[in-house]
Homo-oligomer: A and B are copies of this chain.
Amino acid sequence: MTPASARPPGRPRAGIDAVVFAATLKTVHDLGYAGATMDRIAAAAGVAKTTIYRRWPSKGALIADCLVDALGPVPVRGADRAEDMAAAIRWIAAKIGEPGVGAAFAGVFVDAVSDPGLREVLSTRLQDPYRRALEEAWGEPEHRVLFFIDVVVGTLLHRMGMTGEPMVEADVNALIAMVGLHFI
């Protein structure tokens, strides 16, 4: 019996997605981004590799969708700008600290440096929904929101790369204060 045929008949797509996303984050957490091959992710999820490739044509596409799922919507309300920015920064700082998320995030960006197709996937599937939500909530032009995302996500990922740990709260507070002074 192949792993794929082990899944109960009629198991909904959302169920498979959730299993694969959880296996993706666990594999990236355990083996690093480069070590988390599609083969190993399929094995960890207990599904056939073809099941994964039917849904995601590349590792980059899988990681992007997995991150969208792990992050969920950004908590902005558009009421108090300073409060909103602080909430958004605390939210992404906490998410990047979850097992596998920071490493998946950082890894897919690096692959994107030399892969224009992957940049398109990242930009449209991962970044654009957040960019539009922030533009609408804050009434800021695109280039300012992209700068906000670069500063916040880049800083948090760099810290994770250098220390292997999420940023401590005192430094997250410094980031909130710095970005607040610039944007508000």
The chain A residues found within 8 Å of chain B, CB to CB, are 28-29, 31-35, 102-103, 106-107, 109-116, 119, 122-123, 127, 143, 146-147, 149-151, 153-164, 167, 170-171, 174-175, 177-179, 181-182
Within 8 Å CB of A154, what residues of B?
Answer: 151, 153-159
The answer to whether residues A110 and B116 also contact, given A157-B158, A182-B178 and a CB cut-off of 8 A, is no
Within 8 Å CB of A106, what residues of B?
Answer: 106, 109-110, 113
A113 to B160, CA, bound (A): 6
Within 8 Å CB of A155, what residues of B?
Answer: 150-151, 154-155
Q: Determine whether the beta carbon of B150 is less than 8 Å from that of A158.
A: yes
Can you pick out 18 interface pairs between chain A and chain B where the beta carbons lie within 8 Å of each other? Answer: A29-B114, A34-B111, A103-B113, A106-B106, A106-B110, A107-B113, A109-B157, A109-B162, A113-B161, A119-B162, A127-B162, A146-B162, A150-B159, A151-B178, A153-B154, A153-B158, A181-B181, A182-B182
Within 8 Å CB of A103, what residues of B?
Answer: 110, 113-114
- How many copies the complex holds: the figure is 2
Residue of B119, B127, B164 touching A112 (CB-CB under 8 A):
B164
Within 8 Å CB of A162, what residues of B?
Answer: 109, 112, 119, 122-123, 127, 146, 150
Chain A to chain B: the 10 pairs with minimum beta-carbon distance, closest first: A154-B158, A32-B114, A109-B161, A154-B154, A178-B182, A154-B155, A103-B113, A106-B110, A150-B158, A110-B110
Residue of B32, B114, B115, B175 touching A115 (CB-CB under 8 A):
B32
A50 to chain B, nearest CB (A): 24
Within 8 Å CB of A179, what residues of B?
Answer: 178
Within 8 Å CB of A156, what residues of B?
Answer: 154
